[in-house]
Amino acid sequence: MGQLDTTRKASCELCLTDGGFLVVRNARLRVIRVLDVDYPGFYRLIWNDHAAEFTDLPTVDRVYLMEALAKVESLVREHLHPTKVNLASLGNVVPHLHWHVIARFADDKHFPQPIWGSAQREVASSHWDGMRAELKALDIAIQAALN
C-alpha cells in the first residue's frame, strides 16, 4: 500500500477545484455532476485528499469509498433507469483518485462503446431534456445519502 499524501498539490486540478457542478461534499469525498450535453447522467466521486491510487487509501477509507460509489450507482439507476451504468477509475490525465459513474442508454451517442470511444450515432441535445428534468431530484437524493 502506498503512503497517503493528504496535502493539496498545486499542479492537481482536483485538489484546486471541485471538478464540476458540486452536488455534495463531506469530510472524505465529493460528488460532482459533469456538465456534458451528451451525457447528463454523468457523475464523479472525487476523494478530497490527494491520492493517485485506490490502494493509497487505508482499508477503512477504501470500504467507505466503495459504499459511497454503490450508493451513487444505485440512485442513478433508481432515478434515470439507464440501460447500463459504467463505472471507471482512470486518472491517466488527472492522477487524483476519482470514480466516473455514467448512466448509459442504448440510444446514447456512443453506446455500446465507451463514451471516450467512437461515436455510433448523432443524438440531438434535446433528446435528453426529460432526463435533465430529473437531475435535481437525483442530486438531492445523492446529498441525502452522503451527508
Work out the average pLDDT over 14-21: 88
- Tell me if the domain spanning 13-146 has CATH number 3.20.20.150: no
pLDDT tens digits, one per residue of 51-89:
999 999 999 999 999 999 999 999 999 999 999 999 999
Q: pTM to 2 decimals?
A: 0.91
Is residue 43 within 8 Å of 31, Cβ to Cβ? yes
Q: Is the pLDDT of residue 38 over 90?
A: yes
Q: Where exactly are the structural domains of the chain?
A: 13-146
pLDDT tens digits, one per residue of 127-138:
999 999 999 999
